[in-house]
Amino acid sequence: MKKIFTIIVAAFMAVSVNAQNLYMTNENGEESIAAGTVLTDNEFFKATTVYTALGGSSKYEYSGGESFTGWVQMRVDKDPNADAPNGTEKADCTPVIIEAKQDILLSAYVRTGNNKTVNLFDAETFTALESTNTFVEDGTNNRWTWTWQIAAGKKYIMTERGGTGRLSGFSAAISSSIEGVKAENNTNTVVYNLAGQKVSKNFKGIVIMNGKKFMQK
């Protein structure tokens, strides 16, 4: 019974993940992305470059099976602060302004160094939001998926510092219950990750508990 329940959860999770909204950053593989370019403007958020940056058309696939064919080079010399609200410019790179329209889980798909970090800063306080990440190994680089919980009406700055990332795309998902998933004869709360795998109750990130999706910090 327990094995069957796990399979059911995994199946519904696959539906949930596949239904998320994916947005490319450089669909045409342009080699130069102008400052102020709107990478995507959709019902969930708007993403805009700050500086002129390099782009390209390499195809990268990420841990959830997401695939993108273009990218924009992302990096700053210094993180956003009161004197430089968008971070200081790094040649041929840009941070990205995110303007949230709904309360969502925002994911960014970035190919970068194995030990590098992509941050999302609150544009008012310049504090980095808590995040979760997964990755696919790719030689000296990994293909990372970074996820944050963002709030409607807020503005954020996405950056990488100390490494140069290739930002392939974004996804947006509203945290909501998954219909039809029920656990019978289960006295303890079981926690699953997005792949339908059982994890500890201290797991950080997006989890499934009692058939509902949460961001656990």
Write down the H helix ranges in 19-121: none
103, 172, 209 from 189: Cα distances, Å = 26, 27, 7
Structural domains of the chain ordered from first start = 21-173 (2.60.120)
Range 9-23 average pLDDT: 51
More confident site: 198 or 112: 112
Write down the H helix ranges in 35-182: none
More confident site: 212 or 193: 193
Q: How many residues does the chain have?
A: 217
The Cα 20–Cα 135 span in angstroms is 18
pLDDT of 179 above 50: no
3-class secondary structure, 201: coil
Q: Residue 120 is inside which H or E element, if any?
A: strand 118-122
pTM: 0.76
38, 56, 191, 200 from 167: Cα distances, Å = 14, 10, 31, 31
Residues 6+ apart with CB under 8 A from 3: none
pLDDT of residue 210: 63
Range 16-31 average pLDDT: 79
β 118-122/71-74 pair status: unpaired
Q: Which of 79-83, 147-151, 182-186, 197-201 has the lowest mean pLDDT?
A: 182-186
The Cα 39–Cα 96 span in angstroms is 9
pLDDT of residue 48: 98
Short-list 40, 74, 36, CA closest to 55:
74
Q: Residue 78 is inside which H or E element, if any?
A: strand 76-78
Residue 109: pLDDT band (50, 70, 90) is very high
Strand partners, 21: 172
